[in-house]
Amino acid sequence: MIPKDHREFYELDMGTGWETPAGYPEGIKQKIISGSLDEENKTGSRTRVLTIAAGTYTVEPFVHDYWEEVFLFKGDLRVGNDAQGRGGESFGPFTYAVRPPGSWHGPVASDTGCTVLEIHYYDPDDRPA
C-alpha cells in the first residue's frame, strides 16, 4: 500500500488545487488532501474534499473496486436522482456513508451545493493472492 505522509494539524489552502475529476460535470470539484490511489495496481488510499455546486447533478450510477467513506459536512446531497436531476433521497450535514468495493451508488445531485470529505482505499486483504 502507498503510505500517506505523517502530517500534524496544518492549514489547508482551500483556494487552490481544485480540479474536476475525470468523467464528472464541471460543477463538481475535488481537492486531494492526502495520499494516492493507484486504480490500475489496486493499491493505496486517498483523502479528498469534494464540492458539488448548487444545481449540479450526475446522471449515471457509480461503482468502483475500492472502499469509499463519505462524510457530508455542509449543504445538501441527493442520491438516486433521475437523468434530469430530480428525485432521490436527500441527506443533510453530518451524515455518513461507507461503501465496500462493487457497491452501486448514485447518481448524485445537490440543490444548494455541498461539501463532502471522502476517503478511498484498497484493502490488502481484499486483493486476490
The sign of the dihedral angle between the CA atoms of 67, 31, 8, 36 is positive
For each of the domains in the chain, give its residue range(s) and CATH number, in order of start.
Answer: 28-123 (2.60.120.10)
CA distance readout (Å), 99 to 25, 64, 69, 80, 102: 22, 10, 6, 15, 8
Is residue 5 predicted with pLDDT exceeding 90? no
The runs of H, that is alpha helices, within 60-125 are none
pTM over 0.75: yes
Task: Report the pLDDT value the prediction gives residue 74, as an integer from 0 to 100.
Answer: 98
Task: Report the pLDDT value the prediction gives residue 127, as an integer from 0 to 100.
Answer: 57
Task: Report the pLDDT value the prediction gives residue 83, as an integer from 0 to 100.
Answer: 95
Q: What percent of the chain has pLDDT over 70?
A: 95
pLDDT in tens, 12-62: 999 999 999 999 999 999 999 999 999 999 999 999 999 999 999 999 999
